[in-house]
């Protein structure tokens, strides 16, 4: 058998998180969703996922869809091993789109595929405003498409991802770019970038040049309900026409920050201390929170602030923090 005849049955991908350098809420739609405009880009922290078309290990959960068994496994007790997991939803959605075009049984037989199994090594906090779950869905969709011979293009995957979640289209594009070496053969892969202006409910993704920053990322160890934050905005902004105001996606701004800080005292305390004790260019919550990013362009200040955290009395023992970077893997040495 020649090398070209060998069909891969496993791919390992990093599911990178995202941050919002700006986030505006423009209006509430009649379907209950919100139109937004946001500058999003990838950040160099990630979960690790293995997607296979054969069942190798003993998995915690399985479901049946479109004549395909989907198995899900993770040692992390904070994520649901159910059909509600976005990784499973991503797998179901990409299978559905592929099966609308191809005979799925024949395609699986051709690829020597027995099932879809997903193993999540969860390193990111849950419900944190950095699209950890959306990133899992994104790389599952990319991985399944790859193992099935890349029947869908990047843009087709992004369109399908909009059915899974608002952050998924951007997460697909950004994770395709940052996993490009593993995803060779994906149509339109060269169009993928790690930064974009995102609008609509998240389905309109316009790739742009990233803004490189060194970042200290903090998470206070609590979960924030995005739904509750948007409901708070709806309650206080009734009658206000946000869509008519000026929007500058190139400045640091987060519409959701005020509402999250008002409702969650832990996040308010975190932001206040970061702004007091760090020497960052900017401190801003990402998404609906509670994760907060301190952005640096000066490496000396960045390194000094991070080193001081080990003995800093203002850092609560329940807080997690990361030394990382945003704007692309090769933009900082």
Q: Tell me what pLDDT residue 227 has.
A: 83
The token pair at 74 is: 């993770």
305 annotated active-site: no
User: What gap in Å lies between CA 174 and CA 195, rounded to an integer?
Assistant: 7
Pick the more confident residue, 79 or 214.
214
What CA–CA distances, in Å, run from 186 to 146, 154, 310? 7, 7, 43
Whether 119 has a pLDDT exceeding 90, the answer reads yes
Which is the catalytic residue, given 14, 37, 47, 167? 167
298 annotated active-site: no
Whether 332 has a pLDDT exceeding 50, the answer reads no
How do residues 259-297 score in pLDDT, each as one tens digit? 899 889 999 999 999 999 999 999 999 998 899 999 999
Tell me the pLDDT band of 32, cut-offs 50, 70 and 90. Answer: confident
Domain boundary assignment for the chain: 8-207, 213-326
Q: Is 143 helix (H, G, I), strand (E, B) or coil?
A: helix
Alpha helices in the chain (DSSP H): 86-99, 104-110, 132-147, 154-161, 168-178, 226-236, 257-263, 265-277, 299-308
The token pair at 287 is: 């998404």
The token pair at 80 is: 């649901």
Mean per-residue pLDDT of the chain = 90
Which is the catalytic residue, given 18, 37, 89, 122? 18
User: What gap in Å lies between CA 135 and CA 128, rounded to an integer?
Assistant: 12
Q: Which CATH class is domain 213-326?
A: alpha beta
Tell me the pLDDT band of 239, cut-offs 50, 70 and 90. Answer: low
Q: Residue 313 burial by CB count (10 A; 0-12/13-18/19+): exposed, middle or buried?
A: exposed
Q: Return the minimum-mean-pLDDT range out of 37-51, 149-163, 214-228, 303-317.
A: 214-228
Nearest Cα to Cα of residue 132 among 171, 100, 98, 99:
171
Q: Return the minimum-mean-pLDDT range out of 1-5, 92-96, 130-134, 326-330.
A: 1-5
Q: Tell me which CATH code domain 8-207 carries.
A: 3.30.230.10
> What's the pTM?
0.92
In the chain, DSSP assigns E strands to: 10-28, 34-52, 61-65, 68-74, 116-121, 195-200, 204-207, 213-219, 253-254, 282-285, 292-296, 320-326
How do residues 167-185 score in pLDDT, each as one tens digit? 999 999 999 999 999 999 9
Share of the chain above pLDDT 90, in %: 74
């Amino acid at each position: 058998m020649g090398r070209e005849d060998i069909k891969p049955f496993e791919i390992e991908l990093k599911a990178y998180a995202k941050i919002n350098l700006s986030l505006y809420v423009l209006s509430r739609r009649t379907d209950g969703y919100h139109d937004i405009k946001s500058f999003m880009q990838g950040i160099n922290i990630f979960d690790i996922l293995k997607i296979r078309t054969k069942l190798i290990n003993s998995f915690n959960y399985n479901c049946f869809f479109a004549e395909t068994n989907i198995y899900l496994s993770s040692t992390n007790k904070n994520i649901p091993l159910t059909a509600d997991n976005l990784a499973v939803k991503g797998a179901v959605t990409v299978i559905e789109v592929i099966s609308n075009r191809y005979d799925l049984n024949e395609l699986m037989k051709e690829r020597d595929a027995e099932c879809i199994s997903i193993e999540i090594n969860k390193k990111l906090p849950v419900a944190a405003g950095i699209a950890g779950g959306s990133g899992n869905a994104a790389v599952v969709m990319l991985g399944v498409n790859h193992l099935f011979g890349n029947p869908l293009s990047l843009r087709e995957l992004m369109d399908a991802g909009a059915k899974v979640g608002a952050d998924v289209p951007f997460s697909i594009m950004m994770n395709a770019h940052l996993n490009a070496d593993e995803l060779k053969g994906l149509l339109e892969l060269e169009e993928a970038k790690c930064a974009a202006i995102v609008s609509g409910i998240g389905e309109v993704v316009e790739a742009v040049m990233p803004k490189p920053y060194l970042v200290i990322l903090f998470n206070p160890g609590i979960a924030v309900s995005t739904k509750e934050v948007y409901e708070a905005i709806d309650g206080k902004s009734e009658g206000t026409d946000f869509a008519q105001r000026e929007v500058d996606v190139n400045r640091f701004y987060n519409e959701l920050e005020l509402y999250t800080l008002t409702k969650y005292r832990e996040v308010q305390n975190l932001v206040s201390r970061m702004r007091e004790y760090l020497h960052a260019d900017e401190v801003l919550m990402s998404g609906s929170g509670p994760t907060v990013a301190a952005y640096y362009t000066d490496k000396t200040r960045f390194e000094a602030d991070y080193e001081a955290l080990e003995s800093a009395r203002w850092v609560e023992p329940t807080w997690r923090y990361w030394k990382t970077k945003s704007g692309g893997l090769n933009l900082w040495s």
